Amino acid sequence: MGVGYNVAKETRWGFETTPCDDALHPSDAPGWWEWWYFDADFDNGYTMAGTFHFGSPRPPANPDVRFIEIALYDPAGDKRVARKRYPKEQCSASEDTCKVVIGPNVFEGEAPTFHLFFQEGGQGCDITYESLVEGYMPKGPTSSVGSAVVNWVIPTARAKVSGTITWEGKTIEVKGVGYHDHNWSDAPMSGAGDSEDLLALMGLIIGDWTLVCSGGRARRKHGYEPYGVMYAYKKDKVVAVSTKGGGLGSAYATNAVGVEYPQSYRLWWNAPGLVEGEINFSLKQVIDFMDLHRRFKPFQRWFVETYVGRAAYFRYRLEYDADLTILGEKVTGKGLTWCEHHKFV
């Protein structure tokens, strides 16, 4: 069996997904949380990224909270955020399939079709995801928070999206590409996990290839060793998985609150016959930044930053230059993309 509830067929690279993999995974653990993540990159230059949350993934732990946290970005990178907590009794989630209700907001569906609706503070969307690739669940845990496993399933790494978004009360028709995954754990993410620096790229599309990849360096207790992972889809199938890689940033700048971030980033893999080569990134724009310790009291902030690390989250727009060989086939491309960058240093 895989992690979570998966009892589907095992393949060479992971497990086929079932509807209950994308459903609720309840737990009595005091630090339990679960989120359904989705993003979309629209042809008109708008982008969207967000989550439906049960429990709190960031300290302090509170398994009873229910909230949405969704950001819309216009072509210039200006952001509008819909962030609202709802009473627990106004929220529900199925344990059999993906149907999550938080107040009036709904995310639901089964592969290949998912539907997202939210409306809050003049911002919103009504979007359908039509998956173009198979669902995927790794064979084993991919990360942890202390001793708690962070479970992960990707119902769709590449989807055609269409519908409408609402920007400051104005409805705009959109179409483009999207991504959806799902995480859950018994401990909030606090910077105590395996990584100190993680650049996560979700659904990079190069022709028939869809690449879900990340890389960075491990925490000090693991010797600052670089690591990298890639899940490579050819057309609609996962055809290669490699964990023999790394990631490293360079040309660092400092933002207004003193957090450093790279102007360039390199991901590489060295698994002969499987995945070899590198992707180089050049930062075009910081479109999001969150200081994950901003809610802490002064002593809490000092203690965590002294003994754990300075947790922060960035979202970038980037230029990429990929020069890879996957299963002996050259995979090269240049273009624009976006990604997440998690920092615990």
Share of the chain above pLDDT 90, in %: 66
Tokens standing for 298? Answer: 């002064």
Cα–chain center distance at 92: 22
Query: Look-up: residue for tokens 């727009």?
Result: 317
Given pLDDT bands bounded at 50, 70 and 90, which one contains residue 282? very high
Mean of per-residue pLDDT scores for the chain: 88
Q: What is the mean pLDDT of residues 59-73?
A: 91
176 - beta bridge partners? 42, 161
Look at residue 49 and tell me whether its pLDDT is greater than 60.
yes
pLDDT of residue 299: 47
Which are the contacts of 208, defined by CB distance < 8 A and separation ≥ 6?
234, 235
CB of 22 closer than 8 Å to CB of 172: no
State pTM to two decimals.
0.89
Given pLDDT bands bounded at 50, 70 and 90, which one contains residue 2? very low
| Span of 36-45, 129-138, 273-282, 309-318 with lowest mean pLDDT | 309-318
C-alpha 168/C-alpha 172 separation (Å) is 11
Name all domains of the chain by residue range, CATH numbers in brackets. 1-189 (2.40.370.10), 193-345 (2.40.370.10)
Tokens standing for 78? Answer: 């200006």
Look at residue 192 and tell me whether its pLDDT is greater than 70.
no
Q: What is the mean pLDDT of residues 166-182?
A: 97
pLDDT (tens digit, 9 = 90+) per residue, 115-141? 999 999 999 999 999 999 999 999 876
Given pLDDT bands bounded at 50, 70 and 90, which one contains residue 279? very high
pLDDT of residue 288: 83
pLDDT (tens digit, 9 = 90+) per residue, 296-325? 555 455 445 555 556 678 889 999 999 999
CB of 189 closer than 8 Å to CB of 57: yes
Annotate the chain with three-state secondary structure: CCCCCCCCCECCCCECCCHHHHCCCCCCCCCCEEEEEEEEEECCCCEEEEEEEECCCCCCCCCCCEEEEEEEECCCCCEEEEEEECCHHHEEECCCCEEEEECCEEEEEECCEEEEEEEECCEEEEEEEEECCCCEECCCCCEEECCEEEEEEEEEEEEEEEEEEEECCEEEEEEEEEEEEEEEECCCCCCCECEEEEEEEEEEEECCEEEEEEEEEECHHHCCCEEEEEEEEECCEEEEEEEEEEEEEEEEEECCCCCEEEEEEEEEEEECCCEEEEEEEEEEEEEEEEECCCCCCHHHHHHHHHHCCCEEEEEEEEEEEEEEEECCEEEEEEEEEEEEEEEEC
pLDDT (tens digit, 9 = 90+) per residue, 77-130? 899 999 999 999 999 999 999 999 999 999 999 999 999 999 999 999 999 999
Q: What is the mean pLDDT of residues 137-150?
A: 75
CB of 144 closer than 8 Å to CB of 157: no
Given pLDDT bands bounded at 50, 70 and 90, which one contains residue 13? confident
